[in-house]
Amino acid sequence: MGGQGHAPHGAAPGVASRLAAWAGGLPGRLSGWPLLQQLGNLGQAPLSEAGLGPEAISARTQAVRSRLDEPGVEAVPTVCPYCAVGCGQLVYLKRGGPGQPDRVLSIEGDPRSPINQGTLCPKGAAAYQLHFNPTRWTTVKYRAPYSDRCEDRPLAWAMERIAELAKQTRDA
């Protein structure tokens, strides 16, 4: 069962030595790859000498700054809205000035969450699109008692109305 390139448990000693010889020859086999030629003697020299140091980064790239490093950006912990797992998310907000709305810059997994430890599934990673979806409803449809049609009401009105009705139910 020990075909070429495989070393199953309990394989003959000759297979292990052939594997070691093959793996030892990898640097020679891969040295012709253009990427590795660009990087230089990776593994045999410090990163700065292997083409990965600061001199390998252009001035334009060095000037790029993350939007998350701007002043006024705040990471707000929240929970993913999709499934019942409850993965933690960090929503990066740029706080708006007086009369201006906050702006969502990014959504990523919360590394402090014991549930997802900073990872997100594809749905959680796409939560950013919920905020910017052009077909997203920003109002609620309200049908008054005895009316035959719905009217648009602001979301803030709906939240106040729900809170009011919940309080009436609790106080009754």
**pLDDT above 70: residue 163:** yes
- Residue 54 in any domain: the answer is yes
Instruction: Say yes or no: 126 and 144 in one domain.
Output: no
pLDDT at 142: 94
Instruction: Say yes or no: 52 and 76 in one domain.
Output: no
CATH code for the domain of 125 = 3.30.200.210
As a whole number of angstroms, the distance between CA 135 and CA 105 comes to: 19
pLDDT at 7: 44
Instruction: Say yes or no: 144 and 165 in one domain.
Output: yes
**148: domain range?**
139-171
What is the mean predicted confidence (pLDDT) over 153-160? 93
Residues in the chain: 172
CA dihedral of residues 11, 12, 15, 20 (deg, nearest 10): 90
**pLDDT above 60: residue 165:** yes
Instruction: Say yes or no: 113 and 74 in one domain.
Output: yes
- Residue 158 in any domain: the answer is yes
91-136: per-residue pLDDT in tens?
A: 999 888 788 888 888 899 999 999 999 999 999 989 888 888 888 8
Model-level pTM? 0.49
**Number of domains the chain contains:** 3
pLDDT at 63: 81
Give yes or no for a contact between 4 and 15, defined as CB atoms under 8 angstroms apart. no
- Residue 79 in any domain: the answer is yes
pLDDT at 66: 76
Instruction: Say yes or no: 53 and 105 in one domain.
Output: no
- Residue 84 in any domain: the answer is yes
Of 68, 74, 80, residue with least CA distance to 113:
80
26-72: per-residue pLDDT in tens?
A: 556 665 666 655 555 555 555 555 555 666 677 787 788 777 777 88
- Residue 11 in any domain: the answer is no
Instruction: Say yes or no: 127 and 159 in one domain.
Output: no
- Residue 2 in any domain: the answer is no
Residue 18 pLDDT grade (very low, low, confident, very high; cuts 50, 70, 90): low
Instruction: Say yes or no: 117 and 75 in one domain.
Output: yes
